[in-house]
Amino acid sequence: MIKLLLLLLTVFLCGPLSAQTKQSKNTGNKNSNPTWVKNIPAEDVITWRRHIHQNPELSFNEENTGKYVEEVLKSFPNIEVIRPAKTSVIGILKGAKPGKTVAFRADMDALPMQEETDLPFKSKAENVMHSCGHDAHTAVLLGTAATLSKMQNQLKGTVYFIFQHAEESPPGGAIDIINSGALKGVDAFFGMHVLPNFPAGHVGILPVGAASTAQDVFHLNIIGKGSHGSMPHLGIDPIVVGAAIVSALQSVVSRNVEPGEMTVVTIGKFQSGDAFNVIADRAELAASIRTTTDKTRKQVEERIKEIIDNITKAYGATYELEYVPTYPAIQNDEALNAHARKSAVGILGKEQVFDAPMMTASEDFAYYRKIAPVSFMTLGIGDGAANHNPKFTVDESALQNGVKAQVQIILDYLNK
């Protein structure tokens, strides 16, 4: 359920990286050029991506995408395919020698929106579009699996290629795969998300610690007592109660959360009343809350609940509150981040690796940390519309660098 639109707005407004957006050409690999680079099926990666793009499926409905991925994986040597959830697929590559187990994750779902590009391979499905780039994630990881499947003799350990369903829709697909038990024994998880308006093929290393935000949502019904607008003493005005709650909630970030800790409390909905001379009997509020640590997440939830409870009591109203946690924040591991950076620089050169700013969006990749440390990174895809925009496109010249970085990260992790 990544809200990359928010992320991209943040990134656009953040200036310091804008200089990088001007060089949108992939300058190619100037450094080492290991022989395996020749084995990257660059054209196939584009074919796979276009097929998936043209045939998008919504979260939890990735039946055909899952089948397609399974067939492609089965066409590679040495890969065992398992289905940990109805529409998820994992390819497992066991190296010639024993060692650690490393997982790379791609997500496969599309979004409920009408594509507005004029691509020759635009979506054939009405109101379904790959506007978050998960088609590219899937194709790049297939390219990585294809390349590594020919290097089994050189591998020490096991690689899991995770093709995950339903990233865009909480509770998300990651938790299904984790609960299936299929990932027991994985020592490290990596993931890579495409990011427009960064140079095509440049890999962005997200911060250590919080790399994205946790998002919680609440829905609140304030139940007052309706009355004539001229007889307020006979009613309990839910609008006055709601206004007091909205004002008091502003103090959570400004007075309770430690200064400097990124936290947002946004009341996105406040609806009540139909007529100017009637005191309504109910008011509806809804909010989204973004935090980056478990401690603050819990603290903010507690304060919000206290404020709502006490203010409604003070005004003689009652309430119904639904507080819904969605994805936690991705917590990038320091050692894995350093590893990803070193490998990416090693294969792409340092001019094609940059420090990406924290995503203010949320991602269910965060859940894999329940099993092992994680590192999430970005892949620049050139100038264009934001993720989740109907005009979103991917500069396909970026995909080869995505495969190169993924292969190198896996090789280095297993063979170090």
Choose one: 2-10, 22-30, 220-228, 258-266; the region binding Zn ion (CB under 5 A): 2-10
CB of 358 to Zn ion, least distance (A): 16
* Least Cβ distance, residue 363 to Zn ion (angstroms): 7
Q: Count the Cβ atoms, other than its own, within 10 Å of residue 271.
A: 12
Signed CA dihedral, 38, 40, 41, 42: sign only: negative
Site size for Zn ion (CB under 5 A) = 2
Pick 164 or 293: Cβ nearer Zn ion:
164
3-state secondary structure of 213: coil
Whole-angstrom distance, CA of residue 123 vs CA of residue 112: 11
Sketch the per residue contact string, 63 through 102, with Zn ion: x for CB under 5 A, - otherwise.
Answer: ----------------------------------------
The Cα–Cα gap between 312 and 397 comes to 57
Sketch the per residue contact string, 275 through 304, with Zn ion: x for CB under 5 A, - otherwise.
Answer: ------------------------------
Shortest Cβ 352–Zn ion spacing (Å): 22
Residues in the chain, total: 416
**Residue 167 or 216 with smaller CB distance to Zn ion:** 167
Residues 123-142 that bind Zn ion (CB under 5 A): 132
Q: Please state the closest distance from residue 345 (CB atom) to Zn ion, in A.
A: 25
Burial of 385 (0-12, 13-18, 19+ CB in 10 A): middle
Contact 363, 376 (CB under 8 A): yes
149 versus 169: smaller Cβ distance to Zn ion:
169
Considering the complex, what minimum distance in angstroms separates the CB of residue 132 from Zn ion?
Answer: 3
Write the CA distances from 288 to 198, 294, 331, integer angstroms. Answer: 28, 16, 20
Q: Half-sphere exposure of 94 toward its Cβ, with a 13 Å CA cutoff? A: 4
Q: Which is nearer to Zn ion, 101 or 375 (CB)?
A: 375
Distance separating alpha carbons of residues 385 and 322, to the nearest angstrom: 34
* Shortest distance (Å) from residue 49 CB to Zn ion: 15
Provide, rounded to whole angstroms, the least separation between the CB of residue 133 and Zn ion. 6
Measured from the CB atom, is 132 or 311 closer to Zn ion?
132
Distance CA 410, CA 102 (A): 7
Nearest distance from residue 357's CB to Zn ion, in Å? 17
Q: Does 58 bind Zn ion (CB under 5 A)?
A: no
Given the complex with Zn ion, which of 113 and 246 has the nearer CB atom?
Answer: 113
- CB burial class (10 A; 0-12, 13-18, 19+) of residue 41? middle
Q: Does 7 bind Zn ion (CB under 5 A)?
A: no
At 193, the amino acid letter reads H
Residue nearest to Zn ion (CB): 132
Closest to Zn ion by CB, 132 vs 386, is 132
Cis, bond preceding 56 (omega within 30 deg of 0): no
2 contacts Zn ion (rule: CB under 5 A):
yes
d(CA 19, CA 202): 14
Q: Which of residues 188-207 bind Zn ion (CB under 5 A)?
A: none
Considering only CA atoms, which of 90, 66, 95, 64 is closest in space to residue 78? 95
- Which residues are near Zn ion by CB under 5 A? 2, 132
